[in-house]
Structure 1
């Protein structure tokens, strides 16, 4: 395992051979993972930024955006916490912040160990573990609680289905990016579910199926007050994988109020007091039901959709709050709506990828993000990582933004061919 902590721009030295740290009057903040917008904004606010992350993710742009870097190869959370506590002795941190899913619990554990301000550790752990989240809501007797149970044995799959009826959702209790979500629609799906539970006892959560349009509510909290920034309308493909988003959601005032109220109640129940949150909700015929929530900005570029429409970047709000400054106001150049649509393709080896330049020149397009190159393998759509790229467009209305994003994506072609079978597997034997 490699590690270093060195002032920048001086080159990083090996662990145990660090140069003396310069005296610096600025308050220090540890930023774990993510891009450069948050650390750069913190520096602009007079903060001494220590970036913590992995060696693979640290780029020249990160080098320019922070004052000091602390990098580790992949390791367990205990190692991250232990090393952060040691570093705190030399650079006392005011806060530990992150906008990356993989670092949410690490940041909370470091903050808890050092007695720093921020969301309570048990809140962050409950948001990360969907079972703990459900149990907390159940204990409070919420009328809109979703029926759910962790699956320990195959027999529990049948018992849960008997209790709530089909369809049923089976998903990892700590998953992200729509990965591993299975919808059990009929009796023929149960055998595979039993095998999945047998292979991973205690790791999968069964939930009642929620029927209705899906949304996410983007918020920023401070001192326990939850500021609603936007409601995102979401579109899903096979296996509940998201294939599109638009801000603002196309809902009427009554539905908007329902989504807002449900989010505030949920965040209060979870004990969230600081920072961004991304709360996913399905608006059923019986009202809104919480799917899950995260104490970070929404992924899939939702943070940028919110910025285009509201003029507010959640990372800038977090930087100002962390630095103890007033929250910034909205930028003047705002769009009426913004939408992202994702490209999917048939599984196989990509033989042709074309049209991204043409897509980028279409009306309203602000971003194109190619996701696959010739020679790479396109996998079946089972998680967000299986998509092949995206287009983001802005317009006066949500309908027009969606139409522009989809129309631009129609210029992109991804052709695939079935991957050749390994010669050693043609006889059905194990690979050598």
Structure 2
């Protein structure tokens, strides 16, 4: 189905370059809005290549962003406004789009799903995915709030992403370290304090159309464990029993229903505890960590393209995976990278889909404390999770680095 008239005119805020291309391939005329401080000119040129017009603004100026959206919608007869990028600029974008009658979602749905404290309150009000928690406005209030919860607990900024400012608090020293870290990083409140959920972790990708939520896939996550809990690999599809899969589907779809989410992708993280699945957080965008590529590798299903086909009116048809796909992250010692070998040998392996190693000799490798400070990744395909794990291990064995390790120890860990 090809969109026509105003319905074919799409304004996207913060669209990645492949989104603009895939929207155009689905029949849309695309106008794009970006903040030039967030990307290099060469990348913005890629965005502009498939857009009718690339408009630049400062995303931190919420009133300016809303004014630009309103003017673009009115001048060009835009039928839809869509934001699939980082969550920080979603609230003003969707508020203005809703006011103009061109939003696929109520702004309240976007707000509650992207705000961890609001999401937790919504679930608690309806008795779904029960988790003991409390929300406070400032970091100074966290200490007093801990008295109401048994340690350990997880504390995190309600509106941050990528594990920034997330910590497992076991004692006063952990709290001091966390307070210093979020203050230095400028991560504002509110902050969510909640019970420490234990069990295997999963990422659930959904695509919603007309308020009906379709589970596209579930990905298993593996971490370093305490104290850092940094993701080391993901496997798709997750090896789950039918009853476990059904329970995860139910809790995620229940959350999206309660939030009033109507259209688009959502990325929801779940821990399968001994009391059943518990939602950790959700975002109204696609999952990171190359999860869309894992889905495509395992199923030949392009979830990015499916968003725009769905917006054009095509029905959602969830894929059936035929293979296993896995991403393995490189967590190297912190310090100066003196040399690296093995990259060509890794690329030559027939099962390697993508290799990303953005470092060169002379670079300083940061300590890995969250998803942003890992040192690259490889994506492989396989016939089973076990074979995928073996292939990731072989790649890691081929990657040889010489690092002059930093003298200072890494900061204490984080937990998602």
Q: Quick one: which of 285, 309, 312 aligns to 2:274?
A: 285
Residue 50 of structure 1 corresponds to 31
- Alignment of 1:140 with 2:140, yes or no, is no
> Distance in 1 between the 2:278 and 2:385 partners?
24
Aligned residues: 395
> Distance in 1 between the 2:92 and 2:296 partners?
27
> Distance in 2 between the 1:350 and 1:123 partners?
45
Aligned-residue Cα RMSD (Å) equals 2.6
- Counting only pairs closer than 5 Å after superposition, residues 303-318 of structure 1 correspond to structure 2 as 303-318=292-307
Contact map agreement 1:365 1:405 (CA 8 A) in 2: no
- Alignment of 1:80 with 2:65, yes or no, is yes
Q: CA deviation at 1:328?
A: 7.0
- Alignment of 1:245 with 2:234, yes or no, is yes
Residue 371 of structure 1 corresponds to 358
| TM-score, normalisation: structure 1 | 0.84
> Distance in 1 between the 2:183 and 2:352 partners?
47
Change (3 A) 1:197 1:354: closer
Q: CA deviation at 1:303?
A: 0.8
Residue 329 of structure 2 corresponds to 342
Question: What SS class does the counterpart of residue 259 from structure 1 fall into?
Answer: helix
> Distance in 1 between the 2:175 and 2:23 partners?
50
Query: Which of the pair has more CA radius of gyration?
Result: 1
Q: Quick one: which of 85, 88, 100 aligns to 1:114?
A: 100
Contact map agreement 1:32 1:97 (CA 8 A) in 2: yes
Residue 127 of structure 1 corresponds to 113
Q: CA deviation at 1:25?
A: 7.8
Q: CA deviation at 1:357?
A: 1.5
Q: CA deviation at 1:263?
A: 0.9
Contact map agreement 1:29 1:94 (CA 8 A) in 2: yes
Structure 1 stretches lacking a partner, 5+ long: 1-23, 422-432
- Alignment of 1:190 with 2:175, yes or no, is yes
Q: Quick one: which of 257, 270, 280 aligns to 1:268?
A: 257
Contact map agreement 2:57 2:64 (CA 8 A) in 1: no
Give CA-to-partner distance per residue, 1:385-412, whole Å, 9 cap, x none: 1111100000111221222123213211
Give CA-to-partner distance per residue, 1:256-302, whole Å, 9 cap, x none: 11111111111111111111111100000111100000111111100
Contact map agreement 2:10 2:81 (CA 8 A) in 1: yes
Structure 2 stretches lacking a partner, 5+ long: 409-416
- Alignment of 1:227 with 2:217, yes or no, is no
| TM-score, normalisation: structure 2 | 0.87
Question: What SS class does the counterpart of residue 307 from structure 1 fall into?
Answer: helix
Contact map agreement 2:32 2:53 (CA 8 A) in 1: yes
> Distance in 2 between the 1:155 and 1:320 partners?
47
> Distance in 2 between the 1:107 and 1:398 partners?
40
Greater mean deviation of Cα atoms: 178-187 or 220-229: 178-187
- Counting only pairs closer than 5 Å after superposition, residues 150-161 of structure 1 correspond to structure 2 as 150-152=135-137, 156-161=141-146
Give CA-to-partner distance per residue, 1:114-165, whole Å, 9 cap, x none: 11141110111112211111122222233x3222222346774344433221
Q: Quick one: which of 8, 16, 29 aligns to 1:35?
A: 16
Q: CA deviation at 1:173?
A: 1.1
| Higher RCO (C-alpha 8 Å, min separation 6) | 2
> Distance in 2 between the 1:84 and 1:179 partners?
29
Q: Quick one: which of 140, 158, 176 aligns to 1:173?
A: 158
